[in-house]
Amino acid sequence: MRFSFSAEQDEFRTSLRRALEARSTTKDVRRLMATEQGFDRESWKKLNQEMGLTAVHIPEAYGGGGFGYGELGIVLEEMGRNLLCAPFFSTAVLATTALLNAGTEDQKKALLPGIAAGDVTATFAFSEDSGLNDAASVAMTATPSGGSYKLDGAKSFVLDGHTADLIVVLARKPGSKGEDGLSFFTVDGKAPGLERRLLKTMDETRKLARLTFKGVEAKLLGGEGKAAAPFARTRQQVIVCLANEMVGGAERLREDALDYVKMRMQFGRSIASFQTTKNKAADMLVDVEMAKSTAYYAAAALDEGDSDLAAVASLAKAMASEAYLQTAIHAVQMHGGIGFTWDNDTHLWFKRAKSSEILFGDANHHRELMMQAWA
Amino acid sequence: MSEPTEDSVRAEVSAWLNANWKPEYGLVEWRLKLCESGWGAPHWPRQWYGRGLPVKFNSVVDEEFARIGAVGVAKAGIRTLAAATILEHGTDLHKEKFLKRILTGEDTWCQLFSEPGSGSDMAGAVTRADKQGNKWVINGQKVWTTSAHKAHWGLLLARANWDVPKHKGLAYFVLDMKQPGVQVHPLRQMNNHASFNQVFFTDAIVEPEFLVSDVGDGWTVATTTLMHERRGADGLRTWAQATGKTGRIYDEERAEIATTMEPYKWYPQRAGRVDLVMQRARETGKINDPVIRQEIAKLLSLSKAAEWTARRARAAQDQGKPQGPEGSLGKLVSSHVARQAARVHTYLTGSDALLSGADSPMEGVIAEILVSVPATSIAGGTDEIQRNIISERVLKMPKETSVDTAKPFKDVPRNITAS
């Protein structure tokens, strides 16, 4: 298993970090999170195309960079660090992995180059009003109609669902149950009968939408009734990606809180000289580094086709969920009163930690999945 | 001479072993040959029983010894720390007198650093070293001394000057343990083992030539010993693994290892025995309890994350990158793992965890875990000290204001047990 980054990977991280520090300042984050779109289409397209971000792990045959989850993990970690407001996770992680796992060769050739080039934004809609992420909870139906299908039902908690150009949707044959009868479909974001509503979210940097489908025209993606396995694979990839994004945010919070206590004076001395503060800072370092180790390991496990992937992916998500939130709690505490104010930036990451903790299953959920894989 | 390579070292040691190794040798007899040839400690200087090879070749040499089944020099126990300290700070007389008998295993060593009044604050030692005539006279008490009852020699940190600040008044000696002024008593632990000793000095004598540091420079030398202890902490206990082979030399080696390793036999339980958890969960049926499943998953996550963090640190080191923070966390993390493991073993065992020894599961192993784990967060640097080290050295946070390092040590408040 790979346990370190190559010189090229380190260099890529450095240049990306520099770009994001310049173009995703907290001023930018605050401006964009207050918009309905949640991002600026033109500036995102420019950054994406300059750095080849959505192309990173798309194979070269489909217009991508042909890199692996190691590199995708670096991109996500750096975006998590700077809270970049852009439809990257929805497009490059959710939709792209689903397309790669489920699509036929022709479909991949048709759909992926536009994503790789940064012309198309996309997302993957699977959860419904229950918020559950498993195959059996999918109720949306797909009825054959002419050469295509009509989708009926509702999807919720859809990342960037209100803005995506292309939506991958999971739906089932009417009357089917569990993992049977599930298929992937692609839907145009502007399709007639599709109603998209932006949900009001606690974490304003992560936009979620509820999508209502009334006889919406959809194209089958991959084999009919064969979505269960590629969906399971997609979920594993998605949580590993999210874990990598999360550890980037956690590390930024940890560093900012450390800088603050080193500067803050009380009782005639730096509060960083109090053992109670130092102990907390040491514990934060342990939490973040341990979570980083599991996120990196899981990304390497994806690249190397590790047979223990199901457990490892859930382990990484569970670790990241607890580490990120715990770091955020400590970070607010270390800032004291100012940490609870809107003007201080800590809450931006605190809310991202909370939304990431829950998204695609919390720590308890993933620990149970780990045990199912290992018991 | 060309630079040694892995292949050239392998060929050389293999040729030497083929020409010299015979299982009929006595243990000391064979190890004397290793001292002559330098293959027992290849990274030591040629002048002192080594071959002056870079330390990275030791694993190659070890592999060849293992392949042919040859016995190596004595490696387990405090003797390794003594050798490292003497090589770095000792005089030629010390090297002459001690190093060979360390490698042959004829001499056993102990480390006389910790005291009842100074655990984490080791530089606050109050064992006295007073010059009388040309000899040093030692009075005081040491504690947590592994194998002191067997040791021939002790590495002693004692205070020779009380009129200077604490770090400046210490001296480092080699002390003859077999003298009337040294009394050793076992120290019984809460898990009923007695792996350590208390050592009492009443006018114990150190000959002047056995002062290793200059007076006032003992702390520097002790730091060398401690550094080697931290670096090789696991090696001290795991290097010594007896082979299953029969024959005189193997029997002698087995007996030596059994003696050296005796104090450490509960150490696997101290670390929490994560390896037993899934087996116990299945045997007890608790694997189906959703609450306990969560606790097991937390434990396995911590344990895996600890392992992967250590692997990250090693991989970065192998690439020649500067050490990142991930290399400083292992000790603290092992406490978290051990504590969670003890919690899980309790949940898995239920009422049987009220019992001990033959009446309890696995002939007392589970009970021993529960009463041994508290040592993990204390031994070898408490969790609190680890956090201070991490925050000060890795995170560059300021030290607490010091109240004891600037004034003469005699004016520093200390525990009542002080002499």
Same domain, A99 and A130: no
What would the two tokens of residue B10 be? 């392998």
Same-domain status, A114 and A127: no
Instruction: Check B329 against A290: CB less than 8 A apart.
Output: yes
pLDDT of residue A38: 98
- Indicate yes or no: CB of B305 within 8 angstroms of CB of A291: yes
Q: Is A291 on the interface with B (CB under 8 A)?
A: yes
Give B116 to chain A, closest Cα distance, Å: 24
User: Which of A82-86, A160-164, B114-118, B260-264 has the least mean pLDDT?
Assistant: B260-264
Asked if the model's pLDDT at residue B125 lies above 90, the reply is yes
Nearest to B305 among A273, A279, A294 (CB): A294
The residues in B 263-282 lying below 8 A from A, measured between CB atoms, are 278, 281-282
**B326, closest residue in chain A (CA to CA):** A289
Same domain, A202 and A336: no
Confidence check: pLDDT of B238 > 50: no
Structural domain total, chain A: 3
**Is A21 within the bounds of a domain?**
yes
The conformational region for residue B3 under phi > 0 = left, psi -120 to 50 = alpha, else beta, is: beta
CATH number at A193 reads: 2.40.110.10
Indicate whether A285 and A349 sit together in one domain: yes
User: What is the C-alpha separation between B64 and B46, in angstroms, rounded?
Assistant: 20
Specify whether the CB–CB gap between A164 and A123 falls below 8 A. Answer: yes
A375·B401 Cβ contact <8 A: no
CB contact under 8 A, A3 and B304: no
Mind telling me how many Å the CA of B109 is from chain A's nearest CA? Answer: 35
DSSP assignment of B33-51 equals: HHHHHTTTSTTS-GGGTS-
The answer for B 352-391 residues in CB contact with A (under 8 A) is 384, 386-388, 390-391
Instruction: Name the nearest CA neighbour of B364 among B349, B376, B374, B344.
Output: B349
Mean pLDDT throughout B107-119? 94
The predicted structure's pLDDT at residue A375: 84
Q: Look at A293 and B312 and tell me if their CB atoms are within 8 Å.
A: yes
A274, A275, A289: residue with CB nearest B309: A289
Q: Are residues A194 and A70 in the same domain?
A: no
Indicate the residue among A86, A120, A154 that finishes a domain.
A120
Domain housing A279: 229-374
Which residue among B278, B287, B326 places its CB closest to the CB of A293?
A: B326
B309 touching chain A per CB within 8 A? yes
- Say yes or no: A337 and A268 in one domain: yes
Closest CA to B4 of B62, B70, B58: B58
Cα distances (angstroms) measured from residue A217 to each of A122, A193, B311: 17, 8, 51
Q: Which residue of A has its CA nearest to B317?
A: A4
Are A70 and A302 in contact, with CB atoms under 8 Å apart? no
Residue B244 has pLDDT above 90, yes or no: no
Torsion of CA A20, A25, A26, A28, to 10 degrees: -100
Strands A265-266 and A269-270: antiparallel
Interface membership of B86 toward A (CB under 8 Å): no
Is residue A1 included in any domain, yes or no? no
Digit-coded pLDDT (tens) for B306-355: 999 999 998 988 888 877 787 779 999 999 999 999 999 999 999 999 99
Q: How confident is the model at residue B243 (pLDDT cuts 50, 70, 90)?
A: low
Query: Over pLDDT 90: what percentage of chain B?
Result: 77
Q: Which residues of chain B does A265 touch, with a Cβ-Cβ cutoff of 8 Å?
A: none
Out of A4, A272, A274, the one facing B315 most closely (by C-beta) is A4
Q: Which pLDDT score is estimated for B76?
A: 79
Q: Alpha-carbon distance B37 to B20, whole Å?
A: 10
Q: How far is B345 from chain A (nearest CA, A)?
A: 16
On whether both A127 and A50 belong to a single domain, the answer is: no
- Taken in order A201, A245, A129, A192, the sign of the CA dihedral is positive
Same-domain status, A239 and A356: yes
Residues A370 and A235 in one domain: yes
Which of A258, A274, A278 comes nearest B387 by C-beta?
A278
pLDDT band at B262 (very low <50, low <70, confident <90, very high): confident
- For residue B419, is pLDDT > 70? no
**B259 or B388, which is more confident?**
B388
Same domain, A239 and A278: yes
Buried b / exposed e over A112-145, threshold 16 CB at 10 Å, is bbbbbbbebbbbbbbbbeeeebbbeebebbbeee
Q: Provide the pLDDT confidence category of residue B260 given band limits of 50, 70 and 90.
A: confident
For residue A62, what is the domain's CATH number? 1.10.540.10
User: Domain extents for chain B?
Assistant: 8-73+236-262, 79-233, 266-380
Q: Cα–Cα distance between B221 and B205 in angstroms, integer?
A: 20
A85 and A175 inside one domain: no
A4–B391 CB contact, under 8 Å: no
Among A240, A271, A293, the strongest candidate for a mutation testing the B interface, having the largest count of B CBs within 10 A, is A293
Mutate to test the interface with A, among B299, B336, B395 (most CBs of A within 10 A): B395
Which ranges of chain A have pLDDT less than 50? none
A to B CB pairs, distance under 8 Å? 121
Long-range CB pairs of B281-287, under 8 A, 24+ apart, other chains included: B281/A375, B281/B348, B282/A375, B284/B348, B284/B349, B284/B350, B286/B347, B286/B348, B287/A375
CA atoms of B353 and B347, how far apart (whole Å) = 9
Q: Which of A279, A297, A364 sits opposite B308 (nearest CB)?
A: A297
Instruction: Indicate the pTM of the whole model.
Output: 0.91
Instruction: Check whether residue A233 and residue A136 sit in a common domain.
Output: no
pLDDT value of position B241:
58
The CATH number assigned to the domain holding A282 equals: 1.20.140.10
String of DSSP letters for A15-74: HHHHHHHHHS-HHHHHHHHTSSS-S-HHHHHHHHHHHTTTTTTS-GGGTS----HHHHHH
Of A120, A153, A169, the one marking the end of a domain is A120
The architecture in CATH of the region B79-233 reads Beta Barrel (2.40)
Rounded Cα distance, B419 and B417, in Å = 6
Q: Which of A182, A199, A225 is the last residue of a domain?
A: A225
The burial of B275, by beta-carbon neighbours within 10 Å (0-12 exposed, 13-18 middle, 19 or more buried), is given as exposed
Q: Which of B279, B298, B377, B387 to mutate to test the interface with A (most CBs of A within 10 A)?
A: B387
Question: What pLDDT band is residue B109 in, cutting at 50, 70 and 90?
Answer: very high
Residues 184-223 of B with CB under 8 A from A: none
- On whether any CB of chain A is under 8 Å from the CB of B302, the answer is yes
Separation CA B195–CA B150 (nearest Å):
12
